[in-house]
Amino acid sequence: MKTSFKHKKSFLAILGLASLCIGYSSFLVSTSNTYLVDDTPYTLAKETDDKVVAFNDTTNSRYTKLARAISDAKAGETVYVIPGSFTSISSNCTLVTGARLCLPFEGSDASSYVWNGRQEYSESADSSNGSWREDIGSASFADQNQTNVDKYLVSSVTIDKNVTFNNYGTVRIGGVLGVETQILAGATSGYYCQFVLDNNAKIENYGTFECMGYIKETSKNNSSKINNYEYSRMYLPIVFYDYKGGTYTVSVYGGDTKIFPLNQYDFPNNQVETTFNYQSNLVGYADLYTNAASKSLAGITATMVARHNVDNLNIIGPSNSLYELTDSNSSITMKYTPNGDNQFTTYSISGSYRSGSNGITTMNLNGNINFGQFELGIEAAGDVTLDKGGALLEIIVEAMVKNLNQTISTNTVVFPIPWNFKINVESGTFNVNNPVKFLGGSELTISEGASLVNNSQINVYDASSGSALYSDTAYASTIYPVDKGEAKIINNGTITLKSGSSFGGRISSNIANASINVESGANLSFSTHEGNGSYDMSMGFFTVNINFTFTNYANSPINKNANVLNTSGNEEQLSAGSYTSIDAGGNIYWQKN
């Protein structure tokens, strides 16, 4: 069901009606005028009294203090923050197991609340089945500037200084997710709600936390925190800044040469330092929009409708995730920090091009963590119409659906780490079990006492090797930034290159007595492709063939040797054996043992 477009002024009008309790019984269900303020019941008498900001849909209780509404809620009950409310959680409180706290971005009664652009989130949602909004936003963040914020911000809940909110239930922060273009794929683009954490405020999450709006800080790096504990789940939009459409996506994955079709991404909806402990999960909401496209064969035109390809991507978890927390000592702490004003979410600009995120994401890894994999589904031929009928035409449809609907497994490609990610292995062991490439500007640091074990394939781009990526990937005014320099692997601990693994690129260090262990049988060079894809269809005898082609960019494939700087200050390719970093006149070099 499509939801009608509403202007923000209507939300404020609703809030005013809530405070007056006039003509609002359909929204609040009960006609009772009893309210709770700091645990004390009172009867609303005049407009100047505190406004109602939340209600419980089971008990029909209305609250002017959100912390009390949360504390009162029991299993099976839902607390709604009334659209248009700007309020706070002013004292420690707990949402119990089975209860829900919802920040919907619109609604006139409890039954018509929506949480995002898809109504209730559904992996089968697409533009053809009517479940997407007609008023979905444009190719900009909903909070990109003050004009957007004034237009799209509906409700805001601040967790006050030093206050802790314990969640054992389900929290849902609503927002319109996705755009009908290939730029900022998966961004929050329309009406949204937000949590804002003041200094040293905390969210202790033992349940489910679903965010399609924003989670922000009152000021940058203000010591606010979110901790996710055993069996908890957190859902955040994953934004892809360089999505090139369905044809490109399936083409570069459909043939023999496979590349991951997306190089720039992050999670800009959450600014707060967030820790994922063992058996907790981070799931990325993904939305890749494919335009309508037509192909002709033997006088028959096949048209694929435009659609939203939505998926849940397992980013952090105990297994089957991009980063796997494998034991009780393992954790990952993530922090997205915008480069500009933290009120706004923006993209960066290089010359006349968009160049990805305008923020830095740090990931601090502790314990035993595997670099694993996730799967991304895209249905470029999810809905195909033909201008003629007949049995042969069904063969065309079957061939298109079979070949153009792809599930991209990241363990079959070399997965990119973009320039805006800085990964620190603080303790324990980071096991690289699937292929990865560190693009220009990205960093991986192995701290003293920590280790990295390469069981798969790693390529580390320098500034020149990335030139193909920088110069040839311009698409819809989007490009990988040319000014970020080389990728860096800084080893202050131990790196082990296992037999059968592959490594390309330079390893450096900041301290003496770090080590590199190269097992016999390790491959000490590695190549990765950067390029473009396309496909065509041909007719056989009652068969339809779809042929994928891949074209390397200039200077691709990018081949790097595993090397270090030796005591002469020259690059030296590694060989089987062990190496130790030494301090020579204030410079760090590597020496074979």
pLDDT tens-digit map of 515-528: 999 999 999 999 99
3-state SS record for 336-375: EEECCCCCCCCEEEECCEEEEECEEEEEEEECEEEECCCE
CB atoms within 10 A of CB 461: 30
Q: Quick one: tokens of 554?
A: 């200039």
Tokens in use for 87? 């309020």
pLDDT of residue 95: 98
Q: Around 526, how many Cα atoms within 13 Å sit in the side-chain half-sphere?
A: 27
Question: Rounded to the nearest 5 degrees, what angle is found at the Cα of 374, between the Cα atoms of 369 and 380?
Answer: 165
Q: Three-state SS for 475?
A: strand
Nearest C-alpha neighbor of 405 from the set 552, 256, 304, 295: 304
Contact predicate 243/263, CB 8 Å: no
Secondary structure of 527-551 in HEC code, one letter for each residue:
EECCEEEEEEEEECCCCEEEEEEEE
- Sign, CA torsion 220/221/223/224: positive
What's the pLDDT score for residue 246?
84
pLDDT below 70 — which residues of the chain?
Answer: 1-49, 108-138, 389-392
pLDDT of residue 125: 37
At 123 the pLDDT is 37
Q: Phi-psi region for residue 58, left (φ > 0), alpha (ψ -120 to 50) or beta? A: alpha
Predicted TM-score (pTM) of this structure: 0.89
pLDDT in the model for residue 468: 77
Q: Could you count the other beta carbons within 10 Å of the beta carbon of residue 582?
A: 15
